[in-house]
Structures are given as C-alpha cells and as structure tokens.
Structure 1
Amino acid sequence: MMVVDSRMAPDGQTGLPTDQDRVQAKSRGWLTRATSIWVLALGFVVLTIFATGPLRVWDYQLNRRWLYLYNPDLVWFAQNILDSIAGQAVCMPVLAIVAIVIARRSQSWRPIGFALAAEAAFFIGIGGLKVLLARPSTTLHDPRFFQGGLLEFGDRGISFPSGHAAEAVLIYGAAVYLIAHYSGASRRLVHILCWVVVAISVNSVVVSFLLGWHWATDLLGGLIAGGLFLRILVQCDRRTRYRWTRIQGFERAGISS
C-alpha cells in the first residue's frame, strides 16, 4: 500500500521549498528592502545633494546631443516613437484601461482609485518636486538648482527629477501592481511584465540622455522618485486592503452569529 505524504504536490513532487525557491525568496526579500520607502527616500535626498555639488560638473560634461552627433537619422524615431512610450499620451491610457478592465472583472472600485492615486502622485508629487527644486533644463546650459522656475521658463525650468523617467516606473509599475494583485495573473506573467517596466524605464533614460534633453542626474532622480511614490502607493493600498478585509470578516462573523 502506497503512503501519500500530505506535503506531496499534485505532480508527485514534494511541497517542501527547493534550493531554487529559497534563492528566489531571498532575492525578493533583498529587492524589497532595497526598494523600501526609507531607502528610496534617502537615495533621492543623497542624489539631490550630490547633484547640487560634485555631480554638477559631470552633468555638464556628459550633456551632449549624442544622437544628433553620431546618428541623426534616428532622431525622429527616438523623439516621436521611443520617447513617447513613457509620456502621458501613452502610459496614462494604458493604466486607465488596465484599471477599468480589472475593476469591472473584480466588481471593485479599488483599481480605479489606485490608478487615480498614481496619477495624482505624479502630478502633485513628482510635479511638486520639479517646481520646488527649479532646475533649468539642458537647453539653458545651467545645471544649478533653484535657477529655473515654472513661471519664468515653463517646462524648461523644471528639469529635476525627469518626468518621463518617473512615469516609466510609477505609471507602468502601478499597472503591473494592479494586474498582479487584483486580476489573479500568474506569477510568470507578472515577472515578464516587471521586466517590461524595466525595459521601458531604461528606454526612457537612454533616449532622453542621447537626445540631450535631461541632465544625467535628472534621469536617475526620476527613476528613484517614481519608485518612491509607487512604493508609497503600494504600501497604502496593502494596508487599506488588509483593514477592509478584516472589517468584512468581522461583519460576516457578526451576521453568521
């Protein structure tokens, strides 16, 4: 008579964690700590401090319209296609569609609320940092902070942090979060989508740098700031979901009793 272990998986393999599972869990734990709110906030502050001082010279020396110099035939494609991927005209409809579809399927307004919060975080959070720090863009040839300004120079006076780099992480990251936590998508699909966000973020940074539209630290600052606000939104959503689940559990227990 065959004895079946309760820890056996349906395919006959044991349900005990393998070495690969332990490595993946350790990697996820390290990534979570490295992208925590406090680490990202500290990283943004440190980068801003260095950008106002030692890195300012490097920003100025690295700034060139590299694509115009070495391959001008790609300029139109980079400006109108590649750069647009992380722009509001593309990423906002993507997030809206994801939120609406998931909201209808899950019969919940939470995905739409999360999407609206992500947009608010971009306009108020990222936009507020840009206005506050008032760094002129590369077209004004001055990488110093507080020398620009929205009223005086328009969008050329609010370069830091990069809005496109921040959007790539924040808006697309918000869409992936909704898919991962509200749609029941497979872990493999979520993993692939995370790499898509990474690719979009790298594309945004590389294109802006090659076109000479941003100082190098603008782009790094945008990635960190986008990740910071995304992490804040995720943390708030998880806490409210947990509290709402507990409240519903208490109500059901009260009704059933």
Structure 2
Amino acid sequence: MIGVRETTSRRRVRLTPVRPAGWWFDAVLLAGFVALTAALARGHLLGLDLGVSEWAFTHDPAPLYWTARVFNLLGQGGGLLLPLSGALAVAVAWRRRTIRPFLLVAAALMVTMLTIGPLKLWTDRAAPTASVKEPFLAPEEAVQIFNHLPAGAYSMSYPSGHVANAIVWYGVIALLLASLTVGRLPTGLYRLVRYAPPAILLVTTTYLNFHWLTDGLAALLLGLLLDRILHRVPWDDLPLPAAARRWDHPFVRAA
C-alpha cells in the first residue's frame, strides 16, 4: 500500500501548463537572448543603442524626467519587490495555512540571483551615463559589450536587472494577490499588475539612460524565460516534510 501511495503521489506532481504551451516558446526566448548577445558582441545594433541614447539625452525636460524617475521606482528590488512579495507571501500563508508561498518567493529570488547577476558580470557593459560621469568614456566605448572597463567603473548594464526582475517579481506578486483574494482579483487588474510594470521599466530605464535599449530587450527575453520556469513548477503539489503537514495546503488553485 505504501508503494502504491508513493507512486500515486509522484504521478500527481506534474508541471503546470503555461501559455503559449510547450517548450518551443522557451527555446525561442533563449535563442533570442543568445542571438541578441552575439549580435552585440559582433558590433551589430550598437548604432541603434547610441541613437536612442542620444535622443534621450537631448529630450529630457524636467517634468518628463522626474515623472520617469518616479515610475522607475517600480523596479526597486530590495526596496519594493522583495518586501512586497514577502509580505504577500506571509498574508497568503496565514490565510491558506500553508508554507508553500515561501517556496515560490525563495525560488524567484534564487533564479534571479543565479542568472541576472552573473550575466551582468560576464558581459561587462557600461551604462549610457558612463559617457557623462565617471569614468567619462566615449559613447562608442561605453556601448561595447564584453568590455574591459577601468577598475571600479560600473560594468553591469547587460541585461537590465530592473526589467528582468520586474517580469519575475510582478508575476509572483500577481499570483499571490490572486491567491489572497481567492480568485476574486479582476482579470484586468491581474494583467495590469503582471505586465504594466515591466513595460514601464523598459521605457523609463531607456529614457533615463540607465540602460541601453538592447539591455532592456535582452532582459525581456530572459525575464519571460525565468517567469515561465517559475510558473511551470507545481507549487501546490511539491512534497513537503511531515513536520509541515498542517501547513501544506494548496494556494495556487485558490487563485
């Protein structure tokens, strides 16, 4: 009987469907990220980045600039996204009597730290503002990827952490909100929470010259890939230790 129960339990743990269905879209996202990185390494698209950056530098009236700065706060990971996700996880855990939301938050933190940060270090790209402040690089030098920048210079522009993190964390926040409201969260509001902040951050980080345009485009590809990985995990069905038996209720199905 124990063997039958274990087999049945294992069969229930299946990957959660995502849209578009199948792994082909994940492959497209990964291939797109690799292709974009390779194109930049060969010197392609750098003119596009420089052109967009120059336009942003010359079209920054104070009201528009400060509006963009305010909206850019949506991408503050340690100051907003992680605390908000943690607070929602606590609320959902208490309401649903489950520790499973903490697994989702921990996994989101892990996948972003293990991918975005190392990629930034590896690609060694300066921000557009490196041409107007330390180390005062020529724009044609600052835009280069796989650069050899002076010691202490900011060299973590590619891909945009604001955009990639926003895709992952606002996906987590939207799911937790839907669970907390027991599925009563309006579809329009769910989509607004999930998709509007990454789009806003793509625009603001580029307009403010915090990032090159292709930094944000690469982050979109990477963020969507990480988001699909997280949403494939069957959080409600993952086996938990016996000690957590009283706190192992599902929370995704409640959404």
TM-score bracket for the superposition, by shorter chain length: 0.7 to 0.9
Amino acid at match of 1:102: V
Match of 2:107 in 1: 117
Give the TM-score of the pair, scaled to structure 2: 0.73
Residue 68 to residue 179, structure 1, CA distance change in 2 (3 Å): same
Cα deviation, residue 70, structure 1 = 4.5
Overall identity of the aligned pairs, in %: 25
Q: How far does residue 62 in structure 1 lie from its aligned partner after superposition?
A: 1.8
The answer for the alignment partner of 1:218 in structure 2 is: 215
Query: In 1, Cα distance between the equivalents of 2:68 and 2:120?
Result: 24
Structure 2 distance, partners of 1:131, 1:168, is 20
- Counterpart secondary structure, 1:244: coil
Partner residue in 2 for 1:25 = none
Q: Is residue 76 of structure 1 aligned with residue 66 of structure 2?
A: yes
1:46-195 equivalences under 5 Å are: 46-53=35-42, 54-64=44-54, 66=56, 69-79=59-69, 81-88=70-77, 89-140=79-130, 141=139, 142-148=142-148, 152-153=151-152, 156-180=154-178, 184-186=182-184, 189-195=186-192
Distance 1:29 1:197 in 2: 15
- Paired residue type of 2:192: W
Residue 244 of structure 1 is matched in structure 2 by 239
For 1:192 and 1:38, the matched residues in 2 are separated by 29
State the Cα distance separating 1:29 from its structure 2 match: 7.7
Give yes or no for contact 1:170–1:227 (8 Å, CA) kept in 2.
yes
Q: RMSD in angstroms over aligned alpha carbons?
A: 2.9
Larger Rg: 1
Q: Which runs of 5+ in 2 are unaligned?
A: 1-16, 131-138, 246-255
Residue 95 of structure 2 aligns with an amino acid whose one-letter code is R
Task: Answer whether contact 1:64 1:210 (CA < 8 A) is retained.
Answer: no
Alignment deviations for residues 54-91 of structure 1 (CA, whole Å, 9 cap, x no partner): 21221122212627634223323322x11111112122
Tell me the amino acid that sits aligned with residue 189 of structure 1: P
Question: What residue ranges of structure 1 are gaps of 5+ in the alignment?
Answer: 1-27, 249-257
Counterpart of 2:32 in structure 1 is: 43
Q: How many angstroms does 1:181 deviate by? A: 5.8
Alpha-carbon distance in structure 2 between the residues aligned to 1:35 and 1:227: 13
**Judging changes above 3 Å, is the alpha-carbon distance between structure 1 residues 199 and 58 closer, same or farther for their aligned structure 2 residues?**
same
1:15-54 equivalences under 5 Å are 31-32=20-21, 36-53=25-42, 54=44
1:128: Cα distance to partner? 1.2
Alpha-carbon distance in 2 for matches of 1:35, 1:189: 30
Equivalent position to 2:200, from 200, 203, 217: 203
Q: So what's the TM-score if we normalise by structure 1? A: 0.72
Q: Which has the higher contact order (CA 8 A, sep 6+)?
A: 2
CA distance in 2, matches of 1:97, 1:202: 24
Q: Tell me which residue corresponds to 2:253.
A: none
| Counterparts of 1:115 and 1:157, CA distance in 2 | 28
Deviations 1:98-146 (A, max 9, x none): 1111111111111012112212222222111111111121123322222
Bigger helix fraction: 1
Cα deviation for residue 201 of structure 1 reads 1.1
Judged with a 3 Å threshold, the aligned counterparts in structure 2 of structure 1 residues 165 and 148 are, in CA distance, closer, same or farther, namely farther
Q: Does 1:229 align with 2:218?
A: no
CA distance in 2, matches of 1:126, 1:108: 29
Give the C-alpha shift of residue 231 in structure 1: 1.5
